[in-house]
Amino acid sequence: KKEKKKKKEKKKKEREKKERRRKRERKKEKEGEEERGEGREGKKRRRKEKKKKKKEKKRKEDIE
């Protein structure tokens, strides 16, 4: 019984360790995305810029 309990504890610790590592990696990833201007805000900004360019192009074509 004691061995079973020890195994359970060990598994729990392993799982927590992996979880912490995953969180840390995700945090690093997010910081990197923000530096490159990505992430949610960056994507929104890029999409808006694309739409603006398309509208400008269309307006120029309409004028001609």
pLDDT, one tens digit per residue, over 1-20 is: 788 888 999 999 999 999 99
pLDDT per residue over 7-63, tens digit each? Answer: 999 999 999 999 999 999 888 877 776 666 666 677 778 889 999 999 998 888 887
Query: Where are the chain's structural domains?
Result: 2-63
Q: Model pTM?
A: 0.44
Q: How far apart are the first and last CA of the chain?
A: 85
Residue 36: strand, helix, or coil? coil
Question: Residue 8, Cβ neighbours under 10 Å: how many?
Answer: 10
